[in-house]
Amino acid sequence: MKITEVIAHPLSAKLPQKSWTAHESSDSAQLILFEVRTDEGITGYGEVQGGPQKLICDMAALLGKAAVGMDALGHETVWEKLFSLTSPRPGGLGGWDGLPPPLPRNSRPQIMAAIGGIDIALWDIKGKAMGLPVYRLLGGTKSAVFTYATGGYYIEGAPKNACADELAGFVANGFKAVKLKTGAFSIEDEAARVRATRDAIGKDILLMLDLNAPYTVEQCIRFAHLVAPYDVTWLEEPLHWYLQPADFVRLAAASPIPLAHCEREWHRYTVRDYIDSGAIRYVQFDSTRHAGFTESLRIAHYAAIKGVQIAPHTAAHIHGHIVSAFADKAFAAESHGAHDRHPIQHEAYIGGAHMKDGMLHIPDTPGFGIDINWDAVKHFRA
């Protein structure tokens, strides 16, 4: 089965209201739908969350041409070929070896995203060709895996503790674990938000904190001690972007709360260093941001060997298959607490995994179990 075409569909949807994390604001949901076609009529679908969308789509077109004619079931070979284009190689400068010349270094995040979209679609093809859901291809047996809901985004003019009622609403809808966005206000105000949320959700619900990289090591140590009494499962992405594994080691040694990290890492080599440092208890790779499902599996296997819990970032309909396959070595898949957080996923996709009673239920349909509502794709086309 040969790859015949790679198509990237940039999609965007205006959100009802603008919101913030500690790092950035957003007034729209964006997604690039990847479509990989084959000469046997099987089409696979992947997705990418990233930007700028035009650059990712341009890279997808370039990488797609390099992938055309390759075995659609040979995901490792395809991945390695596309990844090789990110570095210099003997005979490759002018495209003399028949491949594109080394791709620009300043576009590497977008290149890795494009590789990821193609790779996810190849796994969808593999499942469809074998007549199995992806989690079964990986040896998984669980069709229902633990999930949690993320909320607490900052809304201009909303009360600082509005997050408490929001996350309590997730619990009322069946979630047994919730994650709160933190880090935008003062350390004292954030501690108050955490306290209010814990009071609202009750003592038996797991509570994680997603910081979006707002602190120095010293600031985060102070914050960790302030919120530790509220039974926090993890501090996610706690330190400034430029701080490295050695800094996480310092934080982990002084924090009463475990650390989670790595959603923004581009590949397994940097994630490996965070795992090897011993500083993180949960690893949060994201197939839809960088490098795809194949690279996520490499990270997951390494984390399992090292005793680090697997907790993929977003895209539960994709990452739930990895969580199933790794059983008790995986913590959970991340879900949206409300459909309006990402209307594209809920309107453009037909089928796939869904949340009920705090569990993500994965269908036994082949691949990732998703069909496409092409009318919705046309509506959301950026």
Of 49, 40, 30, whose CA–CA distance to 5 is shortest? 40
Say how far apart CA 123 and CA 222 lie, in whole Å: 43
User: 90 pLDDT band (50/70/90 cuts)?
Assistant: confident
Cβ contact 275:245 at 8 Å = no
Instruction: Taking residues 171-189, report their average pLDDT.
Output: 97
CB atoms within 10 A of CB 16: 8
Quick one: which H or E segment has residue 208? strand 206-210
Quick one: how far is CA 47 from the chain centroid? 10
Tokens of 275: 């795992």
Quick one: which H or E segment has residue 310? strand 309-310
Cβ contact 19:81 at 8 Å = no
Query: In this predicted structure, what is the pLDDT of residue 24?
Result: 87
- Which residues have CB under 8 Å from 210's CB, separation 6+? 21, 150, 179, 180, 181, 182, 236, 237
Query: In this predicted structure, what is the pLDDT of residue 27?
Result: 84
Say how far apart CA 211 and CA 125 lie, in whole Å: 36
Query: In this predicted structure, what is the pLDDT of residue 340?
Result: 74
User: 16 pLDDT band (50/70/90 cuts)?
Assistant: confident
Instruction: Taking residues 163-184, report their average pLDDT.
Output: 96
Query: In this predicted structure, what is the pLDDT of residue 118?
Result: 98
53-67 and 108-130 are packed helices; what angle lies between their axes, rounded to 10 degrees? 50
User: 276 pLDDT band (50/70/90 cuts)?
Assistant: very high
- pLDDT tens for 192-241 read 999 999 999 999 999 999 999 999 999 999 999 999 999 999 999 999 99
- pLDDT tens for 27-69 read 889 999 999 999 999 999 999 998 899 999 999 999 999 999 9
Cβ contact 169:202 at 8 Å = no
Instruction: Taking residues 153-170, report their average pLDDT.
Output: 93
Residue 92 has pLDDT above 80, yes or no: no
Say how far apart CA 306 and CA 283 lie, in whole Å: 11
CB atoms within 10 A of CB 52: 12
Query: In this predicted structure, what is the pLDDT of residue 98?
Result: 82
Type of residue found at 9: H
Instruction: Taking residues 70-87, report their average pLDDT.
Output: 96
Instruction: Taking residues 148-174, report their average pLDDT.
Output: 94
Q: What is the percent of the chain where pLDDT is above 70?
A: 100
Quick one: how far is CA 323 from the chain centroid? 13
Say how far apart CA 185 and CA 152 lie, in whole Å: 12
The pTM for the full model equals 0.96
Quick one: how far is CA 27 from the chain centroid? 20
Domains of the chain, CATH where assigned: 3-131 (3.30.390.10), 136-380 (3.20.20.120)
The mean pLDDT of the chain is: 95
Instruction: Taking residues 120-131, report their average pLDDT.
Output: 98
Say how far apart CA 379 and CA 120 lie, in whole Å: 23
